Amino acid sequence: MKVLLLHADYMEWKPTTPALRSAEPTVKEWVRVEEPLVVMVSVEEGDYEGKIPAVVKDIEEQFNRVKPKRIVIYPWVHLSQRPSKPSRALVIIRKLAEALEEKGYEVHRAPFGWYKAFRISVKGHPLAELSRSF
């Protein structure tokens, strides 16, 4: 699993076109989330649910360092050259969001399986950008 963590002033996205026949139901409108830690996630071949606790721990550590107000989970296959099957990726991304919500975080999740326009304003301090591989 590849993860890009971005401490942002805001993130906005708008689903434009389904990228998969199995794209999640959504509304084609702009969504804006203020003061998030954006977690761009690419689930890779061989990833399994047992990796989720390590990813959650890493997200929590970064959350505690930069002190955002909420978390955005943004599926972004482009972080990997060996992505998992979409059905597997969706299961893992949903479980990642659920694990964070169970810990009390406000979590927003961009829809899976869509091409999306997006805008993001990253804060630009030394801890505002971080990439991880699990």
* Structure confidence by residue, pLDDT tens digits, 31-45: 999 999 999 999 999
Domain hosting 126: range is 2-133
- Collect all residues with Cβ–Cβ distance below 8 Å to 41 and sequence separation of at least 6: 1, 2, 3, 73, 74, 75, 76, 79, 93, 96
Span 35-91, pLDDT tens digits: 999 999 999 999 999 999 999 999 999 999 999 999 999 999 999 999 999 999 999
- Number of compact structural domains in the chain: 1
Q: Residue 19 CB: number of other CB atoms within 10 A? A: 15
**Range 82-105 average pLDDT:** 97
pLDDT for 104 equals 98
CA distance 50 to 75: 19
Q: What is the CATH number of the domain that holds 76?
A: 3.50.80.10
The mean pLDDT of 12-28, rounded to a whole number, is 96
Would you state the pLDDT for residue 11? 98
Cβ-based neighbour number of residue 17 at 10 Å = 9
pLDDT number for residue 81 = 94
Q: At what angle do helices 86-102 and 52-66 cross, to 10 degrees?
A: 50
